[in-house]
């Protein structure tokens, strides 16, 4: 597949990365301790991007800030994170590698489409915090050296009129102010064939689940075992699992992350831990719909941010909406978790509304795929697809959340 479909909800972690010391790459937690991600290095540490200074930029209509990244030759992937205002929609609007190949472009679909459909390396808009990763499909072979990028920031409104789609509607108004830009690179000799992702699981009390009993919870154990089975197709596994309780008031999320400081979804994500790993929030239900479509899970982006504790960090899954005949369907919960974490790690829908599809060549538009859009395949029974492709696995393993232990042991000769 070559085209990108819009995400069902762009309502839409996780480390502070230290510099190189003594020739070794280290990843540091906020307290200075070394985390288990030695392959990830920081290229840029929260550079301030001034959107007030670009009002006269004709190329972007005053919406974009130009910046550069120095990409080391050993990098197998580069990630960029933009963190700005609650009233702003952000995305990487242009990305040129050192060979001047346009990985993302201002010319494809406008300055700030929901998704850069025709880009070689598609990028998606998201509110407050945005992340982009290259490469995110097999067509991309970006050259190391100096990469030139444009960060787009624009005020937005939310349109829920289309069934199943939360659209960030362009207002044409510059966001102004500043945003913080961070950039990371994954440095390994070759893309490893295996990888692990840590999960920080947060409980609201839904279905009686809490942190104290999580380790002895058979339903949760079944969910994690099934997620492991699904991810094993592409060499991905669950690493460390940590448990946290959050305010039970978050059991029902009543808004889709509108640009307000105290919106339910933003507040829930800010309440999550800042420890490394993907933050996973188990709630009861979402108290809103997209048209007639009721979500059962939401990611924070494609991919999501790599720093936790922001207004846009983490995956949210509604347990009560996976109950049938008063019994929790753990297999369905696991599929939702695997699907939404797939978005969080950089996978688009294989099939979405309007027939648009992802940029990966070895996926198809059948309901066997893990990443199809649910309403495209629901035909009287719950969708059950859980297939991941070889190329999707490469995208997942390139993500900054995924680590590989001793890279020399995991890489094929």
Quick one: three-class SS letters along 310-375? CCCCCEEEECHHHEECCEECHHHHHHHHHHHHHHHCCCCCCECHHHCECCCCCCCCCCCECCCCHH
Q: Spell out the residues 6+ positions from residue 21 whose beta carbon is closer than 8 angstroms to its own.
A: none
pLDDT score at 64: 92
Q: Spell out the residues 6+ positions from residue 7 whose beta carbon is closer than 8 angstroms to its own.
A: 114, 115, 124, 299, 302, 343, 348, 349, 352
pLDDT score at 189: 79
CB 348 within 8 A of CB 356: no
pLDDT score at 160: 62
> Shortest CA distance to 273 belongs to which of 10, 35, 78?
35
Q: What is the 3-state secondary structure (H, E, C) of 31-85?
A: CCCECCCCCEEEEEEEEEEEHHHHCCCCCCCCCEEEEEEEECCCEEEEEEEEECC
Backbone angles phi, psi at 167, to 5 degrees: -105, 130
pLDDT score at 331: 94
pLDDT score at 1: 42
Cα separation, 314 vs 96, whole angstroms? 28
pLDDT score at 18: 32
Tell me which residues of the chain have a pLDDT lower than 70: 1-38, 108-114, 117, 158-170, 257-261, 291-292, 353-355, 374-384, 406-413
pTM for the model stands at 0.87
Q: Which two tokens stand for residue 285?
A: 């239900």
Q: Is the dihedral of CA 299, 303, 307, 310 positive or negative?
A: negative
Cα separation, 350 vs 347, whole angstroms? 8
* Cα–Cα separations (whole angstroms), residue 73 to 37, 188, 304, 333, 397: 19, 10, 25, 40, 19
Q: Spell out the residues 6+ positions from residue 204 whose beta carbon is closer than 8 angstroms to its own.
A: 245, 246, 247, 248, 249, 250, 251, 281, 282, 283, 284
DSSP-derived 3-state class of residue 226: helix
């Amino acid at each position: 597949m070559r085209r990108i479909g819009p995400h069902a909800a762009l309502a839409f972690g996780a480390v502070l990365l230290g510099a190189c010391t003594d020739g070794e790459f280290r990843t540091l937690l906020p307290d200075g301790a070394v985390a288990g991600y030695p392959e990830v290095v920081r290229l840029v540490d929260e550079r301030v991007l001034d959107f007030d200074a670009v009002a006269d930029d004709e190329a972007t209509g005053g919406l974009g800030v130009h910046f550069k990244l120095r990409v080391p030759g050993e990098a197998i992937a580069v990630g960029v994170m933009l963190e700005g205002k609650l009233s702003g929609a952000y995305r990487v609007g242009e990305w040129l590698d050192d060979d001047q190949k346009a990985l993302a472009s201002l010319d494809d679909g406008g300055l700030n489409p929901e998704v850069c459909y025709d880009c070689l390396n598609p990028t998606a808009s998201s509110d407050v915090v945005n992340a982009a990763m290259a490469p995110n499909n097999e067509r991309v072979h970006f050259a190391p050296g100096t990469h030139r990028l444009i960060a787009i920031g624009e005020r937005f409104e939310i349109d829920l009129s289309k069934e199943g789609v939360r659209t960030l509607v362009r207002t044409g108004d510059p966001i102004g102010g500043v945003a913080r830009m961070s950039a990371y690179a994954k440095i390994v000799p070759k893309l490893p064939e295996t990888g692990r992702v840590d999960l920080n699981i947060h409980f609201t009390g839904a279905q009686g689940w809490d942190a104290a009993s999580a380790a002895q919870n058979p339903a949760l154990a079944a969910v994690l075992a099934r997620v492991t089975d699904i991810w094993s197709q592409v060499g991905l596994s669950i690493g460390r699992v940590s448990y946290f309780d959050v305010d039970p008031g978050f059991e029902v999320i009543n808004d889709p992350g509108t640009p307000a400081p105290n919106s339910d979804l933003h507040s829930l994500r800010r309440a999550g831990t800042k420890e490394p790993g993907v933050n996973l929030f188990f709630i009861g239900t979402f108290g809103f719909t997209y048209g007639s479509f009721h979500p059962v899970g939401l990611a924070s982006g494609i991919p999501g941010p790599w720093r936790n504790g922001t207004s846009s960090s983490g995956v949210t899954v509604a347990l009560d909406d996976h109950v049938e005949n008063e019994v929790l369907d753990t297999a369905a919960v696991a599929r939702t978790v695997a699907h939404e974490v797939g978005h969080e790690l950089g996978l688009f829908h294989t099939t979405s509304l309007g027939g648009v599809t992802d940029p990966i060549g070895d996926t198809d538009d059948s309901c066997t795929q893990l990443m199809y859009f649910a309403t495209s395949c629901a035909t009287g029974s719950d969708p059950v697809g859980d297939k991941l492709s070889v190329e999707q696995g490469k995208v997942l393993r390139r993500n900054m959340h995924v680590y590989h232990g001793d890279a020399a042991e995991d890489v094929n000769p």
